[in-house]
Amino acid sequence: MHLCDKLISKEMTLFEIAQKYPDEQTCKIIWKQYRDECGVTCRNCGGTAHYWKKRKENYQCKSCGTWTSLKSGTVMHASNLGFKEWFWTMAIMTSTKNAFSAKEVQRQLGKKRY
């Protein structure tokens, strides 16, 4: 199953998405659950066993100790956008039948840059 389909079904309205993902913390919790389900692979040693460090909100590899963030290895990697903005971007891009440009996403989210 595709990531967007798993988190945001095509049948959901924007109002339903706003209710299901009301704030940054909720989106972060949902994303962590998704990452836990899919598994995290260490970029340093390839290990798949990790500790979750709640205080730092990062995974730590049990083999080599390398830290991995929730966004690491995803399209969100190195992004300054929050999880809520990424969830809304996924919703916008999957809710329309027509193509959606990055400029339109920028406009919809009220951002100065994309």
Q: What residue segments make up the domains of the chain, in order of their start?
A: 3-109
DSSP state of 94: H
Q: Is the pLDDT of residue 96 over 80?
A: no
Query: How many other CB atoms are there within 10 angstroms of residue 50's CB atom?
Result: 21
Beta bridge partners of 53: 58
Average pLDDT of span 20-30: 93
pLDDT, mean of residues 93-99: 75
- Write down the residue that tokens 């994309």 correspond to: 114
Band the pLDDT of 14: cuts 50, 70, 90.
confident
Q: E strand or H helix at 16, and its extent?
A: helix 14-20
Q: What angle do CA 75, 94, 77 make, to 5 degrees?
A: 10
Q: What is the mean pLDDT of residues 71-82?
A: 89
Can you tell me the distance from the alpha carbon of 72 to that of 65, in angstroms, rounded to the nearest whole number? 15
Q: What pLDDT is stored for residue 15 in this prediction? A: 86
